[in-house]
Amino acid sequence: MSDTPVVTRFAPSPTGFLHIGGARTALFNWLYARGRGGKFLLRIEDTDRARSTPEATQAILDGLTWLGLDWDGEATSQFEAATRHAEVAHQLLSEGKAYKCFSTQEEIAAFREQAKAEGRSTLFRSPWRDVPEAEHPDAPFVIRIKAPQDGEISIQDAVQGEVTWKAETLDDMILLRSDGTPVYMLAVVVDDHDMGVTHVIRGDDHLANAARQSMIYTAMGWDLPTFAHIPLIHGPDGKKLSKRHGALGVEEYAAMGYTPSGLRNYLARLGWSHGDDEVFTDAQALEWFDLSGIGKAPARLDFKKMENICGHHIAMSDDKVLMRDIEHYAANDMQQNLSQTQKDKLAEALSVLKGNSKTLGALLDKAHFILGSRPFTPDEKAAKQLNSVSRGILKELTPHLQTATWSREMLESVLNDFAASKEMGFGKLAGPLRAALSGRAVSPSVFDMMMLIGQEETLARLEDAQGT
């Protein structure tokens, strides 16, 4: 396809679950790499020891797995490469492209405070940039990069276009802390280079960082990867996604009954488009996805649309995949492990269930007639269908069903004839019948249900409904 194989990566910080925005970033990287026969790598940015936890790492891995985004090789730990990062910092130091800065954090903080008070730029200029080694004190120091002091720095971004900064607006950022540990900005660049990442697709909160990072690439004489800074996702109110919006982690979307493929489709369509295509398969997404189709404006989450897309995916889902999704949903989000018999019944009924359910929850609701067992206690709405009059009707209907041949055509004619003989609309008959068969006011068609549960069970449920 192309001469240089594509390598992308997703690099989350393990400080919480897999964020929905992170999930989309991962998806874009995955689509781009997989659609081009490239590699999709996973790197855990765990250099912040205080906030990183193994549980969070696991949650992220689980989230990606649930979403169906598989990565190549083992997930790597950024923290474990700290020595290599420090090595690069020292190389830059010995090449005169970086320097030791002895300014203390207190000094810098005081400077910033004063600058702010006076309304000046808070950009810190270290006085140590050109101080010769001989004059260095014996004190803790950080290593800072020597940023260019004049001219411009610009990066070519696949989404944002050319973005330029004046050199004087950029400071000599720290590469290595006074305790010798590398700073994020250095770690990312070194890791991306070492891992052979060709395309850095990430949130546009990193756009400004890209300028700083490019200085490291340049100083090391490394080729820059292609950058693609994608706009962030906002909450339905247009504000930045935060705790008060709820539903931040992908597992919450799983709990709401969305399917992985539905969410993939929805997320791909958020901030990216391929003409007017709204509902598409993974194969199509893989074929169509390109950086040029990514928009620049932040997008808002819209649960209604998510539901709609998900409904399409449930309907077009492969039965095996759908069964797996349902089992996962039932086990994890409803604390209900389906028995083998329930699974078998579900598999049998899948074709009538999947056509009109937008979420797995809705699907399982409709499956109640096959998942539950006698006697069915009608819910509130179903109970309304079962008054003394309708019970009488069901009672009269029973003998007709006892003698009927159990085929769909036969049942249709039996029920229609019966309704006609009573001079009532079919709806008047189907309502109570539905309530009796499923205990619900919403279910699949009464014929589908009768065919699925069989004659004996149908009669038994009718009996139950008449009883009380």
Binding positions for RNA, 344-363, rule CB under 7 A: 355-358, 362
Amino acid at the residue 402? Q
Least separation in angstroms between CB 280 and RNA: 12
Span 29-58, contacts to RNA by CB under 7 A? 45-48, 51
**What tokens appear for 54 in the block?**
């193994």
Least separation in angstroms between CB 300 and RNA: 4
Span 141-180, contacts to RNA by CB under 7 A? 142, 160-161, 163-166, 169, 171, 174, 177-179
Residues 347 and 320: their CA atoms lie apart, in Å, by: 8
* Residue 70 touching RNA (CB under 7 A): no
Comparison of 38 and 98: residue with beta carbon closer to RNA: 98
Least separation in angstroms between CB 468 and RNA: 21
Q: Where are the beta strands (DSSP E) in 120-160?
A: 142-145, 152-157
Cis peptide before 375 (omega within 30 of 0): yes
Among 58, 336, 407, 445, binds RNA (CB under 7 A): 445
* Residue 290 touching RNA (CB under 7 A): no
Residue 166 annotated as catalytic: no
Least separation in angstroms between CB 37 and RNA: 25
Residues 42 and 35: their CA atoms lie apart, in Å, by: 17
* Residue 80 touching RNA (CB under 7 A): no
Span 1-20, contacts to RNA by CB under 7 A? 13
By residue count, the chain amounts to: 468
Span 418-437, contacts to RNA by CB under 7 A? 425-427, 430-431, 434
Amino acid at the residue 179? D
Least separation in angstroms between CB 232 and RNA: 6
Side-chain half-sphere exposure of 125, counting CA atoms within 13 A: 9
Q: Determine the distance from the C-alpha atom of residue 426 to the mean position of all C-alpha atoms in its chain, rounded to a whole number.
A: 45
Least separation in angstroms between CB 5 and RNA: 26
Q: Output phi, psi for 218, to 5 deg.
A: -65, -45
Span 178-237, contacts to RNA by CB under 7 A? 178-179, 183-185, 187, 204-209, 231-232, 234
Least separation in angstroms between CB 137 and RNA: 13
Q: Output phi, psi for 164, to 5 deg.
A: -120, 145
Span 299-328, contacts to RNA by CB under 7 A? 299-300, 302, 304-305, 307-308, 311
Q: How many residues bind RNA (CB under 7 A)?
A: 90
**What tokens appear for 367 in the block?**
């499956």
Amino acid at the residue 326? I
Comparison of 31 and 38: residue with beta carbon closer to RNA: 31
* Residue 457 touching RNA (CB under 7 A): no
Site string for RNA, 385-414 (x = CB under 7 A): ---------------------------x--
Least separation in angstroms between CB 322 and RNA: 16
DSSP, collapsed to helix, strand or coil, labels residue 201 as strand
The set of residues, in sequence order, having a beta carbon less than 8 Å from that of 337 and lying 6+ positions away, is 330, 331
Among 264, 269, 391, 461, binds RNA (CB under 7 A): 269
Contact 228, 157 (CB under 8 A): yes
Span 95-124, contacts to RNA by CB under 7 A? 103-105, 108, 112, 119-124
Comparison of 219 and 241: residue with beta carbon closer to RNA: 241
Comparison of 38 and 211: residue with beta carbon closer to RNA: 211
Comparison of 53 and 273: residue with beta carbon closer to RNA: 273
Contact 411, 451 (CB under 8 A): yes
Q: Determine the distance from the C-alpha atom of residue 328 to the mean position of all C-alpha atoms in its chain, rounded to a whole number.
A: 16
Comparison of 217 and 447: residue with beta carbon closer to RNA: 447
Nearest to residue 448, comparing CAs of 362, 328, 366, 377? 366
Burial tier of 251 (Cβ tally within 10 Å: 0-12, 13-18, 19+):
middle
The set of residues, in sequence order, having a beta carbon less than 8 Å from that of 388 and lying 6+ positions away, is none
Comparison of 38 and 207: residue with beta carbon closer to RNA: 207
* Residue 342 touching RNA (CB under 7 A): no
The set of residues, in sequence order, having a beta carbon less than 8 Å from that of 453 and lying 6+ positions away, is 369, 370, 437, 461
**DSSP summary character for residue 217:** H
Comparison of 38 and 212: residue with beta carbon closer to RNA: 212
**What tokens appear for 189 in the block?**
């660049």
Of the residues 116, 146, 240, 243, only one is catalytic, namely 243
Among 447, 459, 460, 463, binds RNA (CB under 7 A): 447
Comparison of 120 and 320: residue with beta carbon closer to RNA: 120
Contact 394, 452 (CB under 8 A): no
**What tokens appear for 117 in the block?**
């008070």
Pairing of strands 7-10, 39-44: parallel
* Residue 374 touching RNA (CB under 7 A): no
Pick the stretch among 31-39, 289-297, 324-332, 391-399 that binds RNA (CB under 7 A).
Answer: 289-297
Instruction: Catalogue the active-site residues.
Output: 243
